[in-house]
Structure 1
Amino acid sequence: MLINNDEYLELFHKIIDCIKTSQYKVVVDANLTLLHRNWRIGTFINENNNWGTKFLDNLSKDIKSEFPDSTGYSVRNLRDMKKFASIFEEDDIDEYGLAGITWYHHKALMGKAKTKEAYIWYAEKTIQNGWSHNTLKMQLDYDLYSRQVETPKLQNFNGVLPSEQSELALQTMKDPYIFDFVRFREGMIERDIESELVANVRKLLLELGTGFAFVGEQYELNVGERDFYIDLLFYNFKLHCFVAVDLKTGEFTPEMAGKMNFYLSALDNEVKSELDNPSVGLILCKNENRLVAEYALKDMTKPIGVSEYKLFDDLPNELQEALPTAEDIEARIIKKYECE
């Protein structure tokens, strides 16, 4: 940086933002043209579906013959165009901002998203979080839509938080959380799992979702001349609040809710600033024991959620084989940060 004063730096960042915005617009405009073209080709194919099994083979060869220097007209890609046109109306492309992701992303969604609603949700999250194609595939393999949207959440947010923050807090919850980078060992206790999560904090933050920042492990609270420790403490910049996580290796018990309620009271009194929203608690168990948890949370005064978590060894064998390794995920995250 040749000039280092505030006025110049402000100007510099405005210009950088302008460049990034224009670059994004160029990509979106190109994607928009491509998507409309693919939808129309797919519609033509659907309208002539009665031309037999060799129709796409012949069409692919003839298009390539007409445009020998162009790519993207393989039989497989024509099938994807056909499927895309079956899922969406042409107006949906603009209405749902589908040009915000690449055709490569769309191909992953067509292969894995179970419903149109899930497809649109994943597309929106990809745009919001800047997911690469590989990260999107990983979230699809993890069935993130089901865990974050479809599964009913065990929580009392609606009764103790303002409606806007309650909705945001609910949107951040997943059930279950998948920590596939932690392998179970015989005799493993809560502190061992906690240490593994902290040792792999980048992967942990990716699973927790957007907006989470790690504050500390075994975070100390001093109340009445006694020390108490929160397993894991985070700050969420979307919720503008602290998030306390209590990790348990067994099933949920009512005492856990009372303990978390105490932690949140102490956090709000001792740590939270006037600018922060009320702290939120998340109890992670191997078995959430839904009915017991519902009763336990019913009369709690602080916002608390309860979810299950799964380690690598808890996942079905076919999913273990399909999912990327911890090293793969770490390499992707590092690459993403380097690009930024």
Structure 2
Amino acid sequence: MGQLYDPASDEAIYQSVRSTLESARAKAAVAVNDAMVSAYWEIGRQITEAQGERAEYGKHLMEYLSERLTKEFGKGFTIRNLQAMRQFFLAFPIVNTLCSQLSWSHYRLLIRIEDRERREFYAHAAVEDHWSVRQLDRQIHSSYYERLLATHEDHREVVRKEIQKVEPVTKADDILKDPYVLDFLDLSGSAFLEADLEQALMDKLQEFLLELGKGFAFVARQYRITTASDSHYYIDLVFYHCILKCYILIDLKTGKLTPQDVGQMDFYVRLFDDQCTQPNDSPTIGIILCADRDETVAHYSALAEDKGIFASRYLTYLPTEEELAQVLETTYTLASGEAE
């Protein structure tokens, strides 16, 4: 008597059924999230309109609703949560602007941002770049918005373009940040080698790509380029930017920026463009990632000549607001062309 079942067929059917269930669960999760976010927005609207300008009544209303709703619907309706729903409505008063891709946990982070433009930037970036709640929290606390804007003279215009998609990203300035915050590397102090920094970035490549921003794709480390006289040179990190359609070379420096660093990167970019790029590629961009930047070198070198070569600092720790403000002041001054 022949075999009554085929293990391969059983496995194929199982995988098909499993795929169906996974798809259904994903759709259900999206639907539940969308319904919950909409419900919390509506609750916030009703509370806000009922309270009006009556602060004392608002306090009473929160306590009353919290007690009644908790008895009937269980946890989740504390006074604090109801206040968050009211704040949610005030931060996003137009229901049609809510994004189904963002969860209530995303919005709980966003409503803490008081500045409307800053809040809209993070909401837009979270959707566009598919940030998890954890990633959004990290970007907010590392001042992603401020670091991006500090590299631009017309920084408000950059945000407008990013949020409204008036114009696409077209130049290197639109993707650069200064400083880059590499707190995820677990490198303490300054007693480490460039090789240690490179290895740490490779070990945390996903986090590094998030820090670099949208459009970066990893190509290689220690990429070898060779001259006509058979001299070999090695570029620390090579990326391709899918939006700008160009290669981006990154040279790691654990010390202060020097004229030799700038000259070396200029050489790398020229040689790479000559040997490695294709006709449809845009000109290669070079970024020197250094522990500190000599502003005189930056002002009197190829960095100031719009040759696609840039220098940005990196921090291996999450700075305080005061520390970051000091660093950003220097960056913004340079971007505005005010440095001596």
Look up the match of 1:59: 65
CA deviation after TM superposition for structure 1 residue 301, in Å:
5.7
Q: Secondary structure at the match of 2:301?
A: helix
CA deviation after TM superposition for structure 1 residue 106, in Å:
0.7
**Separation in 2, partners of 1:34, 1:241:** 45
Q: Could you list the runs of 5+ residues in structure 2 that have no partner in the other structure? A: 1-7, 10-19, 154-166, 324-340
Correspondence list, 1:229-244, <5 A:
229-244=234-249
Give the % identical residues: 29
Please say if 1:117 is aligned against 2:117. yes
Query: Which residue identity does 2:90 align to in structure 1?
Result: S
Look up the match of 2:307: 302
From the superposition, tell whether residues 267 and 190 of structure 1 become closer, same or farther in structure 2 (CA, over 3 Å). Answer: same
CA contact (8 A) 2:41 2:86 kept: no
Correspondence list, 1:165-184, <5 A:
166-167=170-171, 169-180=172-183, 181-184=185-188
**Separation in 1, partners of 2:307, 2:25:** 41
CA contact (8 A) 1:211 1:238 kept: yes
From the superposition, tell whether residues 23 and 140 of structure 1 become closer, same or farther in structure 2 (CA, over 3 Å). Answer: same
Correspondence list, 1:133-152, <5 A:
133-148=133-148, 150-152=149-151
From the superposition, tell whether residues 236 and 63 of structure 1 become closer, same or farther in structure 2 (CA, over 3 Å). Answer: same
**Residue-by-residue CA offset, 1:173-221 (whole Å, 9 max, x unaligned):** 2221111113136642222212222233222222222332222222111
Look up the match of 1:74: 78
Q: Which sits farther off after the overlay, 186-195 or 31-40?
A: 31-40
From the superposition, tell whether residues 136 and 165 of structure 1 become closer, same or farther in structure 2 (CA, over 3 Å). Answer: closer
**Separation in 1, partners of 2:285, 2:274:** 13
CA contact (8 A) 1:234 1:244 kept: yes
**Separation in 2, partners of 1:31, 1:239:** 38
TM-score normalized with structure 1 length: 0.72
From the superposition, tell whether residues 23 and 176 of structure 1 become closer, same or farther in structure 2 (CA, over 3 Å). Answer: farther
**Separation in 2, partners of 1:64, 1:28:** 20
From the superposition, tell whether residues 196 and 74 of structure 1 become closer, same or farther in structure 2 (CA, over 3 Å). Answer: same
From the superposition, tell whether residues 298 and 241 of structure 1 become closer, same or farther in structure 2 (CA, over 3 Å). Answer: closer
CA deviation after TM superposition for structure 1 residue 298, in Å:
5.8
Correspondence for 2:256 among 244, 248, 251: 251
CA deviation after TM superposition for structure 1 residue 120, in Å:
1.1
CA deviation after TM superposition for structure 1 residue 243, in Å:
0.6
CA deviation after TM superposition for structure 1 residue 75, in Å:
0.8
Look up the match of 2:158: none
What RMSD in Å do the two structures reach over aligned CA positions?
3.4
**Residue-by-residue CA offset, 1:216-243 (whole Å, 9 max, x unaligned):** 2221111232222211111122222111
**Separation in 2, partners of 1:153, 1:244:** 21
CA contact (8 A) 1:264 1:281 kept: yes
**Residue-by-residue CA offset, 1:123-162 (whole Å, 9 max, x unaligned):** 11111122221221122221211112x32359xxxxxxxx
CA deviation after TM superposition for structure 1 residue 246, in Å:
1.2
Look up the match of 1:328: none
Query: Which residue identity does 2:119 align to in structure 1?
Result: Y
Correspondence for 1:262 among 258, 262, 267: 267
From the superposition, tell whether residues 273 and 142 of structure 1 become closer, same or farther in structure 2 (CA, over 3 Å). Answer: same
**Residue-by-residue CA offset, 1:269-309 (whole Å, 9 max, x unaligned):** 10111222221111111122345414424653631222110
- Name the larger-Rg structure: 2
CA deviation after TM superposition for structure 1 residue 30, in Å:
2.7
CA deviation after TM superposition for structure 1 residue 244, in Å:
0.3
Query: Which residue identity does 2:68 align to in structure 1?
Result: D
Please say if 1:201 is aligned against 2:205. yes
CA contact (8 A) 2:217 2:241 kept: yes
Please say if 1:87 is aligned against 2:91. yes
From the superposition, tell whether residues 183 and 239 of structure 1 become closer, same or farther in structure 2 (CA, over 3 Å). Answer: same
CA contact (8 A) 1:153 1:307 kept: no
Look up the match of 1:37: 42
Query: Which residue identity does 1:108 align to in structure 2?
Result: L
Q: Could you list the runs of 5+ residues in structure 1 that have no partner in the other structure? A: 3-14, 155-162, 320-340
Look up the match of 1:214: 218
Q: Secondary structure at the match of 1:215?
A: strand
From the superposition, tell whether residues 72 and 171 of structure 1 become closer, same or farther in structure 2 (CA, over 3 Å). Answer: farther
Q: Which sits farther off after the overlay, 28-37 or 284-293?
A: 28-37
